[in-house]
Amino acid sequence: MTHVLLTGFEPFDGSGVNPSWQAVRLAATTPPEGVSLTTVMLPVVFHDAIARLRAAVEESGAEVVVCVG
């Protein structure tokens, strides 16, 4: 089984939702056969997002990383 880390972004600029996170949540409801998914919502602050992404990659052990947004 292939482990995939799928990321989207938190809402910003007063919005209640971020379409990238909505897409990630939707994709996670029906992962492809043979794929296990870990989803992570990233902050919209550049350095914070990079740090959170690095930590998520290490924590999840994902073989593939897909960043949406």
Going by C-beta distance under 8 Å and a sequence separation of 6 or more, which residues neighbour residue 44? 9, 10, 12, 18
Give pLDDT, residue 32: 94
How far is it, in rounded angstroms, from Cα 10 to Cα 20? 8
> Tens of pLDDT along 1-26?
999 999 999 999 999 999 999 999 99
C-alpha pair distances (Å), 11 with each of 28, 34, 41, 61, 65:
18, 31, 10, 26, 21
Give pLDDT, residue 23: 98
Give pLDDT, residue 39: 98
| Residue 41, number of CB atoms within 10 A of its CB | 16
**Sign of torsion, CA 5 46 23 26?**
positive
| 53 pLDDT tier (thresholds 50, 70, 90) | very high
> Tens of pLDDT along 26-46?
999 999 999 999 999 999 999
